[in-house]
Chain A
């Protein structure tokens, strides 16, 4: 069964600190992997998209990495801000069709 597992489920950090969120997947064949940020009560917003051949992609203070061999991805947040408090969702797309497999998300809380 294709799965996307994220860790940790929740994380609390102090403002200004860095953090790394993990995503492991078993989806195959793989097309691309996305990280979304979902604020409470809002729809998800795309942060990064990486294809099989890409190892890293940055979007401001967000940097995503991908190791297609080990089927692992991480999202690193640098110098966290209070507005980073949200759920971060890892989403993997199969090579065929348009089915997306969503991870359960990591709920991040940044405290002052």
Chain B
């Protein structure tokens, strides 16, 4: 079946521009996560959505970062006024309902380069 998909796969932008990254989770998965992976660094949690609950935004590095999840499915991560330090691979993951199966299924990521 279809896995988590992300678009675009690569994005090059100029410093100061806004970017939107999209994540399509696996159908039926209620939990959705955004992570950032900088070159040579570990994964960094950004934001978590679970069903209709208020999202856990505790990992967002600044107010330039925001995310939405429309209709409990597709999610968009927006970075405003991008900075060079925002360059990283942005990974999205989804999980099915129920803690007994809380394996996260990751998408291929979006590689963001800010010039």
Contact = CB atoms under 8 A, between A and B. Distances in A.
B1 to A, nearest CB: 15
Contacts of B107: 43
B36 to A, nearest CB: 11
Contacts of A41: 108-109
A98 B31 contact: yes
Given A104-B41, A105-B42, A46 B56 contact: no
Contacts, number: 51
B48 interface: yes
Interface residues of A, number: 21
B103 A104 contact: no
Nearest to B9: A41
Nearest to A4: B42
A107 B93 CA distance: 21
16 contacts: A32-B102, A34-B103, A43-B4, A43-B106, A44-B104, A45-B106, A46-B103, A46-B105, A98-B48, A98-B102, A99-B48, A102-B35, A102-B43, A102-B44, A103-B42, A105-B42
